[in-house]
């Protein structure tokens, strides 16, 4: 699957990791949770900075 329109590259990379053909190479739920938390914290910080400019 190609990257959906408007999907951030970092989120698409996580999606690709989840779809890895070898299940043992897919992220665990715990890893997925911290990656997504990191992504959304970074995303909201960038949004705040952009709106303050």
Name the percent of the chain lying above pLDDT 70.
79
pLDDT of amino acid 41? 83
pLDDT of amino acid 43? 64
Separation CA 34–CA 41 (nearest Å):
10
List, for the chain, all residue ranges whose pLDDT scores fall below the cut of 50.
Answer: 48-53
Tell me how many degrees the CA angle 35-51-53 measures, rounded to the nearest 5: 115
Give the global pTM. 0.70
pLDDT of amino acid 44? 60
pLDDT of amino acid 23? 96
């Amino acid at each position: 699957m190609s990257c959906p329109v408007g999907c951030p590259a970092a989120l698409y990379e996580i999606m690709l990791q989840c779809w890895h053909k070898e299940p043992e190479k897919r992220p665990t739920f715990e890893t997925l949770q911290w990656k997504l938390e990191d992504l959304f914290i970074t995303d909201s910080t960038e949004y705040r900075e952009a709106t303050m400019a």
